[in-house]
Amino acid sequence: MTVTTGVPTLIPGRKGAALPFVIGAALVVIMAVLPLLDISLPGILPGPTYTPGSLALLSLCMVFAALALSYNLLLGTAGMLSFGHALYFGAGAYGLGIALKYFEVPLWPGILIALVGGLLIAVVTGAVSMRVAGIPFAMVTLAFAQAGSVLVRRNQQVTGGEEGMRLPVAQVPEWLVGVVNTRNLYWFALIVLVIVYLVVLWVDRSRLGHLAEATRENELRVQVLGLRPYTAKLIVFVVAAGCAALAGIAYMLLQSGTQPSAVGADLTITVLVMVVLGGVGFRWGAIVGGVLYTILDQRLTALARAEWIETLPDVLRIPLSEPLFLLGVLFILVVMFLPGGIAGTVDSAIRRRRGERTRTQLRQLDDAPAEADAPVEARA
């Protein structure tokens, strides 16, 4: 296939090839020193950057950016449309809570237990749901996430049911607890984001990632070449789930608690919106999408409470005071008119200037199964 994929490829020796890494490293450094600076971004952050309110919002942005990155690994690299990704995020969050509360271990072994638990769930559910592909896969993963959600809601004694679970602070080191230490939690979230980014980058660059990409493009051909697409996809699925669990662990520490919605289908759909908004198949797109969505959600909620909204007639007031309605409409518009998302649109503009052909990742995902189906239909 001569068409360039949406995933930016690094060609050694090309001028400017190291640029993304320089920018990335610079961004991480800027983010790391942000709590020490006094910068105000009115309209985006609730206060100057050193205040706990702003730092909490930024930490949440980074946690969701990490979750979006892990989902992008699944959808962008391996081409698997999962509706159950929140299950692993919730497994991380609840896993940490349960490990601290019932096994009474210190924080770091607790994180390890939560991570291993998330990975185990991912291996089992992934192995079963990958018996089918495409849309049926989406439905099956949704069902698993729903089962997880039901388990969490039902087992009141263990998970706190609808009330949610508080983080047992006794075992958590003091420097990670409370509003005073928001700064440390912020750095923790930044480290999680960097770790997830590096893991995702490593998978994308490894033979495993290439195999998963090839499977996305044409599974039959990969099989004919004597490779095992199932194993490659399963490993990518489990790695993505592990990253999601890590994000969930950071979320639990950050919010010092979690609710059953952290497992449910709604969160998966939220992550899907983030990734599509940012641009499927682009790591930086997933980060932009995660950050943008989180900030938009916060700002739109603030808008819904604004006084001038109350004075509007019902026809305008009701839609404007529902942040999720506005985000849903934005999502539909992006899918219909900007299918590459933010990153895809920027990328294709750059490529067009260089004179290359482009095609959005989502369209490639559509074409791949059609090509794979073709011989089957010819037989029928």
Partner 1 sequence: MSSLVLILLTGIGLGALYFLVASGLSLIYGLMHVLNFAHGAFLTLSAFIGWQVAQALGTASWGSFLVSILVGAAVGAVFATLTELILIRPLYERHIEQVLVTVGLSFAAVALFEGIWGTDAINIAGPPWLKGTTEVLGAKIPNTYWVLMIAAAIVLAALVLFLQKTRYGMIIRAGVENRAMVTALGIDVRKSFTLVFAIGGAAAGIGGVLAMHYSTFVSAHLGATLLIFAFIVTVIGGLGSLTGAAIASVLVAVLQQFANFYLEGTGDFIVVVLLALVLLVRPRGLMGRTA
What 3-state class would DSSP assign to 85?
coil
Residue 68 interacts with partner 1 (CB under 8 A): yes or no: no
HSE-up of 191 (CA within 13 Å, CB side)? 8
33 lines the binding site for partner 1 (CB under 8 A): no
Q: Is residue 81 a contact point for partner 1 (CB under 8 A)?
A: yes
Give 19 or 336: the residue with its C-beta nearer to partner 1.
336
Piece in contact with partner 1 (CB under 8 A), picked from 56-64, 161-169, 209-217, 317-325:
317-325
Q: Which of 272, 291, 292, 295 binds partner 1 (CB under 8 A)?
A: 272
Q: Based on CB atoms, which residue is closest to partner 1, 70 or 129?
A: 129
Which residue, 349, 176, 165, is CA-closest to 263?
165
273: contact with partner 1 by CB under 8 A: yes
* Residue of 18, 318, 349, 350 interacting with partner 1 (CB under 8 A): 318
Q: What is the DSSP letter of 171?
A: G
Binding of partner 1 by 150 (CB under 8 A): yes
Given 276, 295, 342, 343, the residue binding partner 1 (CB under 8 A): 276
Choose the binding region for partner 1 from 103-111, 251-259, 305-313, 357-365 (rule: CB under 8 A). Answer: 357-365
CA distance 90 to 283: 22
The continuous run of DSSP H or E covering 315 comes out as helix 314-320
Nearer to partner 1, 273 or 343 (CB): 273
Span from 32-40, 99-107, 129-137, 178-186 in contact with partner 1 (CB under 8 A) = 129-137
Given 32, 143, 227, 303, the residue binding partner 1 (CB under 8 A):
143
Q: Find the helix or strand (DSSP H, E) in which 94 lies.
A: helix 86-102
Determine if residue 82 is left, alpha or beta; phi over 0 gives left, psi from -120 to 50 gives alpha, anything else beta. beta
Torsion angle in degrees (nearest 10) through CA of 237, 239, 244, 245: 120
What is the crossing angle of helices 341-354 and 283-304, to 10°?
130
> Given candidates 11, 19, 36, 380, which one binds partner 1 under the rule CB under 8 A?
380
Three-class secondary structure of residue 7 per DSSP: coil
> Which one of 154, 205, 352, 357 is in contact with partner 1 (CB under 8 A)?
154
CA atoms within 13 A on the CB side of 216: 27
- C-alpha distances (whole Å) from 346 to each of 10, 72, 338, 343 are 17, 17, 11, 5
For residue 81, the SS3 value is coil
Our finding on whether 37 is near partner 1 (CB under 8 A) is no
**Among 144, 188, 282, 284, which residue sits at the site for partner 1 (rule: CB under 8 A)?**
144
Residues 324-343 that bind partner 1 (CB under 8 A): 324-325, 327-329, 331-332, 335-336, 339
- Cα separations (Å) of 347 from 65, 66, 210, 274? 19, 21, 21, 18
Query: How many chain residues interact with partner 1 (CB under 8 A)?
Result: 46
Return the residue matching tokens 């910068």. 39
**Using the rule CB under 8 A, is 257 a contact of partner 1?**
no
Chain centroid, CA 166 distance in Å: 23
Site residues for partner 1 per CB under 8 A: 81, 128-129, 131-132, 135-136, 138-140, 142-144, 146-147, 150-151, 154, 265, 269, 272-273, 276, 318-319, 321-325, 327-329, 331-332, 335-336, 339, 362-363, 365-366, 369, 376-377, 380
